[in-house]
Amino acid sequence: MRILLVEDDTLLRTQLRTALHEAGYTVDEADNGRDAQFLGDTEAVDAVVLDLGLPVVDGLTVLKRWRAEGRNMPVLILTARDNWHEKVAGIDAGADDYLTKPFHLEELLARLRALIRRASGQASAVLQCGDWSLDTRSGRVTCAGQPVALTAHEYKVLDYLMHRPGVLVSRSELTEHIYAQDFDRDSNTIEVFVGRLRKKLQAFSQDPNHSARIETVRGMGYRLVPP
Ligand code: CA
């Protein structure tokens, strides 16, 4: 999952970037409203963390423009303390949730997980497909109850697919949601990650009737198939 992080406070942005990376997200960053707007318009982001007090163009204006253009990615706004009307204006402008500074990183991560979950129609923090399970809070993946150790990229692929069971996901879509903007994207490596994922998960699967699988749709992409 790819997060657009918009914050002009360098220290806070650095802390947030580290926390988001550790939580398994791919992160694009902006420190002003103009760059934020551009990234939100051109990149496949799964959610946005948007500070409202920004240089060049303020956060509220950016948010209003996105919504006017029909961009409906989940947006979590960061507001200044004791500024209740900023929250109201943000929610009215189309924010999905807000946090008041200062906040705990854990709370930001929990709210983001919930926004991403809702956007893909998932209700629980633990995603389940057959005997595969992915806990979005801890990043723990199990198959038939056995923990499966995944690399960061394998986890990102599985996380994206587990949020969309039964849905055909093209290779380019998967690539876009896994790599940041400035990363050298090679969609062939996605094939390698999917191949490794399959192997790792199948190694633990005891009963094929209860196991999910990742189907390759030739020339189209991948689909997570429930048992
Ligand atoms: Ca600010």
pLDDT computed for residue 115 by the predictor: 97
Going from the Cα of 72 to the center of ligand 1, the distance in angstroms, rounded, reads 23
Q: How confident is the model at residue 184 (pLDDT cuts 50, 70, 90)?
A: low
pLDDT at residue 47 in the model: 98
| 9-29 pLDDT, tens digit each | 999 999 999 999 999 999 999
- pLDDT confidence of residue 189: 83
* Cα–ligand 1 centroid distance for 160 (angstroms): 30
Average pLDDT of span 152-172: 95
CA of 15 relative to ligand 1 center, distance in Å: 14
**What is the 136 CA–ligand 1 centroid distance (Å)?**
29
Q: What is the pLDDT of residues 94-112, one digit of tens each?
A: 999 999 999 999 999 999 9
Q: Is the pLDDT of residue 187 over 90?
A: no
Least confident of 98-102, 148-152, 205-209: 205-209
Chain segment 114-141, per-residue pLDDT in tens: 999 999 999 999 999 999 999 999 999 9
What separation in Å is there between the alpha carbon of 115 and the centre of ligand 1?
Answer: 22
Distance from Cα 79 to the centre of ligand 1, integer Å? 8
Centroid of ligand 1 to alpha carbon of 163 (angstroms): 32
130-154 mean pLDDT: 94
pLDDT band, residue 48 (cuts 50/70/90): very high
Alpha carbon of 80 to ligand 1 centroid (Å): 8
Cα(60) to centroid(ligand 1), Å? 12
**Ligand 1 mean position, distance from CA 70 (Å):** 25
Closest CA to 182 of 14, 35, 10, 58: 35
57: left (phi over 0), alpha (psi -120 to 50) or beta: beta
Does the pLDDT of residue 80 top 90, yes or no?
no
Judge contact between 41 and 69, C-beta under 8 A: yes
Of the chain, the percentage scoring pLDDT greater than 70 comes to 97
Q: Nearest Cα to 46, choosing from 100, 111, 102, 115?
A: 115
- The whole-angstrom separation of Cα 194 and Cα 222 is 9
- Ligand 1 centre to CA of 42 (Å) is 23
Q: How far is the CA of 5 from the centre of ligand 1 (A)?
A: 12
166 C-alpha to ligand 1 centroid (Å): 40
CB-based contacts of 85: which residues, under 8 Å, 6+ apart? none
| pLDDT-derived band at 182, boundaries 50, 70, 90 | low
Q: Rounded to two decimals, what is the model's pTM?
A: 0.92
